[in-house]
Amino acid sequence: MRQHADAPVSAGIDRLVATATDRRPGTPDQRIRVGIVGATGYVGAELIRLLTRHPRVEIVGLQGRDRDHEPIGATHAHLAGTGLAVDSSLPDVDTIFLALPHGTAAAIVPEMASRGTAIIDLGPDFRLRAATDYPRWYGFEHPSPDLLGDAVYGLPELHRTELTDLRHAEQAIVGAPGCYPTATLLALAPLARAGLIGDLVVDAKSGVSGAGRDPKPDMLFGEVNESVKAYGIGGHRHVAEIEQELAALGAAGATTNPGAAGVDFLPHLIPMTRGILSAGHVRPTRPTSQAELDDLYAAAYAGEPFVTVVPAAPATKHVLGSNHVRVFVHHDERTGRILAIGVIDNLVKGAAGQAIQAFNLVHGLPETTGLEQLPLAP
């Protein structure tokens, strides 16, 4: 599957499509050629950090705004040692990772996908199934609504089979989830599947790296430090994903569709760089118990390589720098409510790490390849 750098693009593409019944590299020495578009942002940096150490990947191209021909170290000083550089002329690749503002990927993906290049889009352009959600939540008409049905929501714990099936598909488009939805959905999925979510408040807290690297006054250290505030009042865009996926999970057994009334989702910005904690406050559709919840969660996440159900409230620091997720569920005897908490590193499991996890599945590699790092603490 790996292409030679000097092969003409069209030739490479032709050969790729011809053999595109299998995206898995043949031998252990063969490497998948990947490109990263949007390499100069924080998510781009994290993709580079992780893919550089991925044993089956070769990064062959980086694109980034206003940085053409510069070494990547000029933008991301910590990555100077990689020797990579930004170059607007992206060579032929097997898989392209896109870390772009909304609306941008939608414009370029159709052509790329038709050439057989696997697409891992870390923006929102291929996360939603209903084309009408794009004007509603993102303010643009989706230019390729027909692709939305084929694209896979790249949360492996919920869509592993579909991601794996892309290995043999002619077109492979993954819409990697947003950071808040990742933490929220993994905390709530077992409840949604069991039809237990009767009423839902999601109150989330995030480090500032999710806001990206563009210099905005309210992201200055002097403004963020020693302060907390809510934002996205009245409807953060990630609600769309959360409602879509909860509805899909609950379709079978839910007596109340949480998407019907609308999820009450409130994100907060807190003075840290990385990490998301999402707390789901659930009024259940019927009485339940801690024992039932423990069973549900144990069953849901047994064998999951990155999700751990923990018996005490987890901290984001427990997963910092890693693709790990910690999930906690509690039945409150006094109020009858359920509390479900998920913690992730927003740039790893909430972005670059999860994208690589999906990428591994698309290419038939072990799901944890290149993602084995342990969390960094203290």
CB of 339 to a second copy, least distance (A): 7
User: CB of 97 within 8 A of CB of 35?
Assistant: yes
**Strands 197-206, 264-269: pairing kind:** parallel
**Residue 69 annotated among the catalytic residues of the structure:** no
CB of 293 to a second copy, least distance (A): 13
CB of 230 to a second copy, least distance (A): 5
DSSP state for residue 272 in the 8-state scheme: -
Q: How far apart are CA 229 and CA 249, in angstroms?
A: 31
Q: How far apart are CA 5 and CA 123, in angstroms?
A: 27
Contacts of 242 (CB under 8 A, 6+ apart): 180, 181, 184, 185, 202, 263, 265
- Among 118, 179, 269, 325, the one annotated catalytic: 179
CB of 155 to a second copy, least distance (A): 20
195 sits in the region (left: phi over 0; alpha: psi -120 to 50; else beta) called left
Q: How far apart are CA 189 and CA 258, in angstroms?
A: 12
Which residue's CB is nearer to a second copy, number 24 or number 283?
283
Token pair recorded at residue 250: 């609950």
Q: How far apart are CA 164 and CA 142, in angstroms?
A: 26
CB of 303 to a second copy, least distance (A): 14
Known catalytic residues are: 179
